[in-house]
C-alpha cells in the first residue's frame, strides 16, 4: 500500500482520534461508574413488577451496632466470645448518627444498661428497620395490591398496602406500611411506629415520631439493595440514611422456621416471680 499523502494522513489521524474517543465514550457509557452498582434488570412477576419474592437475610454486623465500630466485650462475661460484639464498617451513610446532644446521652445510657433494656432480649418485635437486618431470615410474599413481609424473629409480620395509602388508628411495633413502585424499586413509607424498639443492640434509639422510608431494589439474581431513610425530629438534628445488601437464602427448599421466642424470654422476664426461684443463670 502506498504511503498516504501528508494531508490524507492528518485527516486519517484526526478521524482515528475521533473514532478512538467515540469508542471510549461508548465504553464509559456501558461500564459502571465506581459509585453505582450495575443497572441489573430484575426479572418481573406475571403482573409486570420487579420480582421481590424470596427469603432474604442481611449478612453484616448492623444488628450489633449500625455505626462503624470496633470489636468489644459483650454484656455477659460467662458468654465470653460467643456473645461479644464483632467489628463492623457500619451501615449508616456518612458514618455517624446525627443525634441531638441529649439524645446522644440517652444512647450511651441505653448501651450501659443494654442487657436489661434491649427489647431483643425480651423477644419483643424488632420494629422497622431493625427487623430487616436481625440475624434471621424474612420472606417477601408478593401479591398485587398487597405484599406480606414475614420475619422469622418473633414471628413478626408486616402487611404492605400497595393500593391507595391508608392511615393507622394507633401505633404498633411493626408500624403501618404503604408501598408503591418507583420503576423497579419498591418504596415503603412506614409510619405509626411505637417508641419501644431500638435500631440495634448498642442502644441506638428513636421516638414515636420515627418515620422510615424504605427502598428495596434487586441488584442481582440473589441480592437486594435495602435503603432506609430515617426521620425523627424529636431525636435527630436531620434526616439520615442506612444502606446494605440483603442476600437470598439459596439453599434448596429454604423456608422460614418458627422462632416465636416468647418461651426463651420468660425466664428473664418473669423468673423473679417464680414460686421457687431457679438457682443460677444457665441450664
Partner 1 sequence: MRRHVLSSLIALVAVVSLASTLAAQAQVAAKPAPAAKAWTMPRTPDGKPDLQGVYSNATTIPVARPANLGAKEFYTDEADKAASAAAGGRGGGRGGAARPAAAADPEGNGLAVHYDTSQFGLGGPTVKRAASLRTSIITGPEGRVPALTPDAAKRGAERRAFQQEHQWDSAQTRPLAERCVTWGFEGPPMMPVGYNSTLQIVQGQGFVSIVQEMIHDTRVIPTDGRPHAPAEIKQWMGDSRGHWEGDTLVVETVNYNPLVSIQGAMVSDVAKVTERFTRIDADTVQYQFTVDDPKTWVKPFSGEYNMVKIGGNVYEYACHEGNYGMANNLSGARATEKK
Partner 2 sequence: MKTKLLVVLAGAGMLLAAVPVWAHHAFAAEFDEKKPLKLQGIVTKWELVNPHSWIHLDVKGPDGKITPWMVEGGSPNSLFRNGFTKESLPEGTEIIVEGYRAKDGADRAVGANLTYAKDGKRLFMGGSAPGAGGDGK
Residue numbers at the binding site for partner 1 (CB under 8 A)? 45-47, 51, 53, 123-125, 139-144, 146-148, 150, 154-157, 159, 166, 169, 172-174, 196, 253, 255-258, 260, 262-263, 265-266, 269-271, 273-276
Q: How far is the CB of 192 from partner 1 (least distance, A)?
A: 10
- Using DSSP's 3-state secondary structure scheme, residue 27 falls into helix
Among 117, 149, 138, 116, CA closest to 259: 138
Rounded to whole angstroms, the Cα distance separating 14 from 159 reads: 62
Grid cell at residue 17: 482520534
**Residues 6 or more apart in contact with residue 191 via CB below 8 angstroms:** 168, 175, 176, 178, 211
Residue that the C-alpha cell 443494654 belongs to:
114
Q: Choosing among partner 2, partner 1, none, which partner's interface includes residue 28 (Cβ < 5 to 8 Å by kind)?
A: none
- The nearest distance, CB 76 to partner 1, in angstroms, is 21
Q: Of these partners, partner 1, partner 2, none, which one is at the site of residue 164 (CB under 5 to 8 Å by kind)?
A: partner 2
**Alpha carbon 174 to chain centroid distance?**
14
Instruction: Check whether the bond before 129 is cis (ω within 30° of 0).
Output: yes
When CB distances are held under 5 to 8 angstroms depending on the partner's kind, the choice from partner 2, partner 1, none that residue 121 binds is: none
In whole angstroms, the minimum distance from the beta carbon of 28 to partner 1 comes to 37
Residue 168 Cβ vs partner 2, minimum distance, rounded to whole Å: 8
Residue 235 contact, options partner 2, partner 1, none, Cβ 5-8 Å cut-off depending on partner type:
none
What's the rounded Cα separation, in Å, for the pair 187 and 216?
Answer: 7
53 binds, among partner 1, partner 2, none (CB under 5 to 8 A by kind): partner 1
| C-alpha cell belonging to residue 240 | 439520615
Point out which residues bind partner 2 (CB under 8 A): 164, 166-167, 169-171
Amino acid at each position: 500500500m502506498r504511503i498516504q499523502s501528508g494531508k490524507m494522513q492528518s485527516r486519517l489521524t484526526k478521524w482515528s482520534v475521533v473514532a478512538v474517543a467515540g469508542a471510549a465514550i461508548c465504553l464509559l457509557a456501558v461500564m459502571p461508574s465506581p459509585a453505582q452498582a450495575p443497572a441489573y434488570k430484575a426479572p418481573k412477576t406475571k403482573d409486570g413488577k420487579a420480582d421481590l419474592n424470596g427469603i432474604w437475610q442481611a449478612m453484616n454486623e448492623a444488628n450489633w451496632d449500625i455505626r462503624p465500630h470496633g470489636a468489644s466485650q459483650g454484656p455477659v462475661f460467662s458468654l465470653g466470645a460467643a456473645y461479644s460484639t464483632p467489628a463492623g464498617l457500619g451501615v449508616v451513610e456518612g458514618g455517624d448518627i446525627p443525634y441531638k446532644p441529649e439524645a446522644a446521652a440517652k444512647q450511651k445510657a441505653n448501651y450501659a444498661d443494654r442487657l436489661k433494656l434491649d427489647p431483643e432480649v425480651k423477644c419483643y418485635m424488632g420494629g422497622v428497620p431493625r427487623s430487616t437486618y436481625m440475624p434471621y431470615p424474612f420472606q417477601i410474599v408478593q401479591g398485587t395490591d398487597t405484599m406480606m413481609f414475614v420475619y422469622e424473629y418473633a414471628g413478626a409480620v408486616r402487611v404492605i398496602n400497595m393500593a391507595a395509602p391508608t392511615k393507622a388508628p394507633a401505633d404498633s411495633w411493626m408500624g403501618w406500611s404503604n408501598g408503591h413502585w418507583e420503576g423497579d424499586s419498591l418504596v415503603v413509607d412506614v409510619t405509626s411506629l411505637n417508641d419501644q424498639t431500638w435500631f440495634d443492640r448498642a442502644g441506638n434509639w428513636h421516638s414515636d415520631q420515627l418515620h422510615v422510608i424504605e427502598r428495596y431494589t434487586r441488584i442481582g439474581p440473589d441480592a437486594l439493595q435495602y435503603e432506609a431513610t430515617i426521620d425523627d425530629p424529636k431525636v435527630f438534628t436531620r434526616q439520615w440514611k442506612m444502606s446494605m445488601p440483603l442476600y437470598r437464602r439459596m439453599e434448596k427448599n429454604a423456608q422460614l422456621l418458627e422462632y416465636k421466642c416468647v418461651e426463651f424470654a420468660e425466664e428473664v422476664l418473669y423468673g423473679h416471680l417464680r414460686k421457687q426461684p431457679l438457682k443460677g443463670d444457665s441450664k
